[in-house]
């Protein structure tokens, strides 16, 4: 969760007490249109309560997914309500921003370090597995199926099927699951892929074990691939455009 997300949380949360009114369904089954209409045919205070509770649920879910060490719900609620009601806050906006920035920078560094250490330990053990080859760059691969076709160069465009996971088996991308191969330039992918593709014959299927410096490095890629993540791919080289 970044500073912008936290700021949005502080702006959105409105703690409005009160119960959410639920209406009993009638014996006669209503149409979908009538059901939707009924959701809005309630007193305005009930809609405000429902909206406030929904915002709280959303924020709570985000905090659960990316927990803050020693999170204090009462202090959080006080901060929200002080800011929302325009009361005197316990710190300035600048102090708050600096605190959040320092905290999330620290957490990001911890994640980078943890991912790097786990990845290096994984690769160290993986290279001992039967059939695993290690290239000077640190890229590891295992031939699942050897093809007989030509090998692509960095100027080629290729079509592949692939299945990508983290070292814990979490799938982050898979053309196999989508049921549709992907076409892209050899030079337009991560370094580990570019290096491996030039060694593969068309028709080959390899497992790739890619260290972070040959993948997405410290920046990661979206929510699925964290900083310094080691990646595992199964790649099948289907064809080279024009060859």
The structural domains of the chain, ordered by start, are: 3-90 (no CATH), 132-240 (3.10.50.40)
- pLDDT of 26 above 50: no
Annotated catalytic residue, options 103, 156, 190, 213: 190
Task: Pick the catalytic residue from 49, 216, 238, 240.
Answer: 216
pLDDT of residue 94: 94
Print the SS3 string covering the chain: CCHHHHHHHHHHCCCCCCCCCCCCCCCCCCCHHHHHHHHHCCCHHHHHHHHHHHHHHHHHHHHHHCCCCCCCHHHHHHHHHHHHHCCCCCCCHHHHHHHHHHHHHHHHHHHHHHHHHHHHHHHHHHCCCCCEEECCCCCEEEEEECCCCCCCCCCCEEEEEEEEEECCCCEEEEHHHHCCCEEEEHHHCCHHHHHHHCCCCCCCEEEEEECHHHCCHHHCECCCECCCCCEEEEEEEEEECCC
Catalytic residue (one of 173, 210, 225, 238):
173
Instruction: Determine which one of 162, 209, 225, 238 is catalytic.
Output: 162
172-179 average pLDDT score: 97
Task: Give 88-135 pLDDT, tens digit per residue.
Answer: 999 999 999 999 999 989 999 999 999 999 999 999 999 999 999 999
Q: Are the CB atoms for 236 and 200 separated by under 8 Å?
A: no
Q: Is 71 a catalytic residue?
A: no
The answer to whether 84 is a known catalytic residue is no
What digits encode the pLDDT tens for the residues 49-77? 888 889 989 999 988 887 788 899 999 99
Give the pLDDT confidence score for residue 64 in this predicted structure: 87
Q: Annotated catalytic residue: which of 49, 233, 238, 240?
A: 233
Active site annotation includes 45: no
Active-site annotation holds for 82: no
Q: Is 76 a catalytic residue?
A: no
Residues 206-235: tens digit of each pLDDT = 999 999 999 999 999 988 999 999 999 999
172 catalytic residue (yes or no): yes
Q: Is the pLDDT assigned to residue 178 strictly greater than 80?
A: yes
């Amino acid at each position: 969760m970044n500073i912008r997300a936290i700021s949005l949380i502080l702006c959105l949360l409105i703690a409005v007490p009160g119960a959410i009114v639920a209406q009993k369904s009638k014996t006669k089954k209503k149409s979908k249109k009538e059901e939707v209409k009924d959701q809005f045919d309630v007193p305005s205070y009930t809609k405000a309560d429902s909206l406030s509770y929904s915002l709280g649920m959303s924020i709570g879910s985000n905090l659960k997914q990316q927990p803050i060490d020693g999170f204090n719900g009462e202090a959080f609620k006080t901060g929200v309500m002080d800011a929302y009601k325009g009361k005197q806050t316990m710190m300035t906006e600048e102090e708050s921003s600096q605190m959040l920035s320092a905290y999330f920078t620290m957490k990001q560094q911890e994640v980078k370090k943890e991912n790097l250490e786990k990845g290096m330990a994984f690769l160290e053990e993986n290279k001992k597995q039967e059939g695993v080859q290690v290239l000077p760059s640190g890229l590891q691969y295992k031939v699942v199926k050897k093809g007989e076709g030509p090998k692509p160069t960095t100027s080629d465009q290729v079509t592949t099927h692939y299945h990508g996971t983290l070292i814990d088996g979490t799938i982050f991308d898979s053309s196999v699951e989508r049921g549709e191969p992907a076409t892209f330039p050899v030079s337009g992918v991560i370094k580990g892929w570019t290096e491996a593709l030039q060694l593969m014959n068309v028709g080959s299927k390899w497992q790739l074990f890619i260290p972070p410096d040959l993948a997405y490095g410290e920046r990661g890629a979206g929510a699925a691939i964290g900083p310094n993540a080691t990646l595992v791919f199964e790649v099948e080289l289907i064809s080279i455009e024009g060859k």
